[in-house]
Amino acid sequence: MEETFQRIYENYHNDIFQFLFYMVKDKSQAEDLVQEVYIRVLKSYKNFEGRSSEKTWLLSIARHVAIDWFRKQQTLRQRMLGTFDWDKQEIKDSQQLPDELVEQNENLQEIYNALDECTIDQRSVIILRFIHGFSISETAEALTFSESKVKTTQHRGLKSLRKHLELLKEEQGFEEERVERRTDKGITKSTSNS
């Protein structure tokens, strides 16, 4: 069992941690939840039948651990609205220009913040499909959903993301417009006083 556990740790630790981190958006909490996943794996590995890949099975356990954690929280909504820690993320393509990196990080941050507006199921599907690159059938296995439920949940989740990103852009547009008006008024006042 020790060799099996070591292999699982080496092959899947980053995937499990990343999934839980995207779910709870707190590094130390994600680390704690990863430990809970390993405890459950140790207790139930003998029951693993191999009907799905180990990775799918492990991420299914991770999802259940995250859901259990959310249920234990008194204020689920407040926990889900935590901020994403960009300082801890790695930049994969170092060939980009600094201003491109800033814009890319701002866009990613908007998407991660918009994920807060999705249900746990929608968030799980979006993370598995678009961050981990799972197929619809792999996602269905990991979440114990039917393929049609994955498709529907994905559609609704993306629709929700799109809606919240559009609202955010509108809010940013209004804010930029107000700043421009204030700036224009300040320039008009200073030139009329001259």
Long-range (24+ apart) CB contacts under 8 A made by 158-167 are 158/126, 160/114, 160/117, 160/118, 160/122, 161/111, 161/114, 161/115, 161/117, 161/118, 161/126, 164/114, 164/117, 165/110, 165/111, 165/114
Please state the separation of Cα 169 from the chain's center in Å: 20
Q: Which conformational region is residue 102 in: left (phi greater than 0), alpha (psi within -120 to 50 degrees), or beta?
A: alpha
**Full residue range of the structural domain in which residue 36 is found:** 2-192
Dihedral sign, Cα of residue 161, residue 164, residue 167, residue 173? negative
Q: What is the pLDDT of residue 67?
A: 84
Q: What is the pLDDT of residue 23?
A: 86
Query: Looking at the 3D structure of the chain, how many domains does it have?
Result: 1
Please list, in sequence order, all residues whose beta carbon lies within 8 angstroms of the beta carbon of residue 20, skipping any fewer than 6 positions away.
Answer: 30, 33, 34, 37, 62, 65, 66
With a threshold of 0.95, does the pTM exceed it?
no
CATH assignment of the domain containing 62: 1.10.10.10
Per-residue confidence in pLDDT tens, the chain, 194 aa: 788 888 888 999 999 999 999 888 889 999 999 999 999 998 888 888 878 888 888 988 999 898 888 777 644 444 434 434 444 444 344 444 555 555 555 666 777 778 888 888 998 898 888 878 888 988 898 888 999 999 999 999 989 888 888 888 787 776 666 666 666 665 555 555 55
- Measured CA angle at 98 (ends 92, 104), to 5 deg: 60
